[in-house]
Amino acid sequence: MKFYTLIIFVILSFGKIEARCCLPKPINCYHCDSETDLRCKDPFNKTSTEPDDYPPTISCNGCCIKWVTDSRSPKEVIRRSCITQYQVNLFMVDRGCMQERSKTGHLCFCEEELCNKCNKCSINSILLFITFIIFTILK
């Protein structure tokens, strides 16, 4: 069993897998950084009908992203934007989230209108599986 796990790890470790978010028509994504715009922080004011209560948006021909660093700490930073291509070591992410190994941050991808406003995003099950494999090998 460990031999097959090692083979899978070696195969997945070669290079980066490139993914493209290509949608037939553009979507809008929130585009902000909580270091310079407090409207970018979670949670959004969902009851407001005033456009100025929300961060700015951009037209996107790719995926919306939400990147959180130093989660649940005074230094937490949230960035929301659009990305048309991304590279991820070990595995390809197709909509969903990846959590940092330190569990203090995460990066989420989505392909719907203004979808990068989510407060809590689910962690991609592939990430959990690959993390398990890596820890099994390194034990």
Q: What's the confidence (pLDDT) of residue 66?
A: 92
Where exactly are the structural domains of the chain? Answer: 2-138
Q: What's the confidence (pLDDT) of residue 21?
A: 59
Q: What's the confidence (pLDDT) of residue 45?
A: 72
Q: What's the confidence (pLDDT) of residue 125?
A: 45
Q: What's the confidence (pLDDT) of residue 40?
A: 93
Q: What's the confidence (pLDDT) of residue 15?
A: 37
Q: What's the confidence (pLDDT) of residue 48?
A: 81
Q: What's the confidence (pLDDT) of residue 56?
A: 95
Tell me how crowded residue 6 is: count the other CB atoms within 10 A of its CB: 13
Return d(Cα 131, Cα 100) in angstroms, integer.
Answer: 11
pTM: 0.65
Transcribe the chain into DSSP letters.
-HHHHHHHHHHHHSSEEEEE---SS-EEEE-EETTT-GGGSSSP-TT---GGGS--EEEESSEEEEEEESTTSTT-EEEEEEESEEEEESS---SEEEE-TTSS-EEEEE-STTGGG-SS-PBPHHHHHHHHHHHHHH-
Structure tokens given for 88: 């991820």
Residue that is written with structure tokens 């407090």 in the block? 38
Q: What are the pLDDT tens digits along the chain (139 aa)? A: 455 444 444 444 433 334 455 557 899 999 999 999 999 998 877 778 888 889 999 999 888 999 999 988 899 999 999 987 655 543 444 457 887 777 788 888 888 899 888 755 444 444 445 555 555 555 5
Return d(Cα 77, Cα 80) in angstroms, integer.
Answer: 10
